[in-house]
Structure 1
Amino acid sequence: MRMLSVAACALLVGCSQSVQDYQAETPVLSLKEFFAGSGKAYGVLQDWRGKQTLRFTADLCGEWQGDQGNLYEVFYFSDGRVEQRHWRLQQGADGKITGTADDVVGEAQGQLSGNALYWQYVLRIPYDGSTLDVTVKDWLYLVDKQNLINRTSMHKFGIKVADLTLSIQQLDAKADCTALKQQVAELAAKATINTKAGK
């Protein structure tokens, strides 16, 4: 009966999840604990039809001072591109999460509950020689203390244009971030030069 209920729910447009649904789930997700030190990610991007378009791996490293953190990410895509992101994060005592990054328009906002985080933001991505702003809806689920699953949908004009599935593993919570931080800075500087040169 439970499986039938789940299947029926999946067919109903109005049956959607809320982050509060996971309030009792453990282990409890804390960004300043999971995204501390070094990590490794593996992901697949799919278009609106579900067709795989890109694969990637990523190196991550996070540093925190109290509830404020910096998360450095370097992405290696299957088409040869190497990109970076530097998240500036804040985790509130009530589980509210805010974040900014150079390729994020405005501020990302979300809420932690149990083993999950839901947050949403507008991402500016390169597209056809220019840029395109897409709305990102991000669900993160902590599986155990070292492993997290991230499911993302991207939308434009309210229509889903892509899905992303990502697994993240924390490697060493006490790792030094200096090397990855430097790599992120170098990639960001290179991207700025290329933008000014019209590349």
Structure 2
Amino acid sequence: MTPSKPIIQRRKAVGAIVLTLALGLSACGSAPKPTDYQAEQPAMDFRGYFSGPVQAHGMFTDRSGRVVKRFTVAMQGRWSGDSGVLEEDFTYSNGEKERRVWQLKDLGGGRFEGRAADIVGVAVGEQSGNAIRFSYTMRVPVDGKPIEFQFDDWMYRVDGQVVLNRAAMSKFGIHLGDVTLSFRKP
């Protein structure tokens, strides 16, 4: 017995809905990669942009979007061969100050590594087009106790002077908040 035309049409409709949902869910689960931005301009030149002085303004928002901390950063970068140093001096809205010094390495092919005192292991970076992404684990003091958080840190070159940055912070795969910065080169 052959199914009737309305039953075939319903099966096709259900199949189309299932396929659409599957494709939609897979698109939601696919995280961006630096190579997704390879055609975007102006190109991110991580070494060039973070050579010399750079100023930044930023904030940390919790997972509900509430601003928890605001800050400014005075940065100074220098490179010698494939090795670089990036000094960051933070001033928070509550008056606290913090200093981080990155030891950077250009591995070639748009790949970078970074180390700092509060970074666990190595920060791994990949640059393509107008974007660079760093992934790392950072020890952050919480109520006087250092806790390790994972960061998915993206920077996007907007023009010759401005780079925008968003770093998603998580623990055990749970999104806890975001750090947002606007870098400006004088």
TM-score w.r.t. structure 2 length? 0.84
Deviations 1:113-170 (A, max 9, x none): 0110011000001111211100011000001121100011000111011111100011
Instruction: Tell me how far apart the structure 2 counterparts of residues 94 and 153 of structure 1 sit (CA, whole Å).
Output: 25
Corresponding residue number in structure 1 for 2:119: 104
What is the RMSD computed on CA atoms of the aligned residues?
Answer: 1.7
Structure 1 counterpart of 2:102, which letter? W
Instruction: Tell me how far apart the structure 1 counterparts of residues 25 and 55 of structure 2 sit (CA, whole Å).
Output: 32
Corresponding residue number in structure 2 for 1:58: 73
Deviations 1:53-81 (A, max 9, x none): 01000100001102210000000001221
Alignment of 1:33-48 (within 5 A): 33-48=48-63
1:26 deviates by: 1.4
Q: Is the 8 A contact 1:9 1:15 kept in 2?
A: no
Instruction: Tell me how far apart the structure 2 counterparts of residues 16 and 121 of structure 1 sit (CA, whole Å).
Output: 16
Instruction: Tell me how far apart the structure 1 counterparts of residues 26 and 156 of structure 2 sit (CA, whole Å).
Output: 23
SS in 2 for 1:13: helix
SS in 1 for 2:43: coil
Instruction: Tell me how far apart the structure 1 counterparts of residues 115 and 159 of structure 2 sit (CA, whole Å).
Output: 27
1:160 pairs with one of 167, 175, 179: 175
Structure 2 counterpart of 1:145, which letter? G
2:84 pairs with one of 47, 63, 69: 69
Structure 2 counterpart of 1:160, which letter? H
1:11 deviates by: 10
Instruction: Tell me how far apart the structure 2 counterparts of residues 165 and 155 of structure 1 sit (CA, whole Å).
Output: 15
Instruction: Tell me how far apart the structure 2 counterparts of residues 157 and 89 of structure 1 sit (CA, whole Å).
Output: 27
Instruction: Tell me how far apart the structure 2 counterparts of residues 72 and 9 of structure 1 sit (CA, whole Å).
Output: 42
Matched, 1:87 2:99: no
Corresponding residue number in structure 1 for 2:151: 136
Residues 132 and 145 (structure 1), Cα distance of their counterparts in 2 relative to 1, 3 Å cut: same
More RCO (CA 8 Å, sep 6+): 1
Alignment of 1:146-157 (within 5 A): 146-157=161-172
1:27 pairs with one of 42, 45, 55: 42
1:14 deviates by: 2.0
Structure label with greater radius of gyration: 2
Corresponding residue number in structure 2 for 1:16: 31
Structure 2 counterpart of 1:106, which letter? G
Matched, 1:169 2:184: yes
TM-score w.r.t. structure 1 length? 0.78
Instruction: Tell me how far apart the structure 2 counterparts of residues 106 and 54 of structure 1 sit (CA, whole Å).
Output: 26
Instruction: Tell me how far apart the structure 1 counterparts of residues 85 and 144 of structure 2 sit (CA, whole Å).
Output: 30
Residues 170 and 10 (structure 1), Cα distance of their counterparts in 2 relative to 1, 3 Å cut: farther
Percent of matched pairs sharing the same residue: 39
Residues 44 and 128 (structure 1), Cα distance of their counterparts in 2 relative to 1, 3 Å cut: same
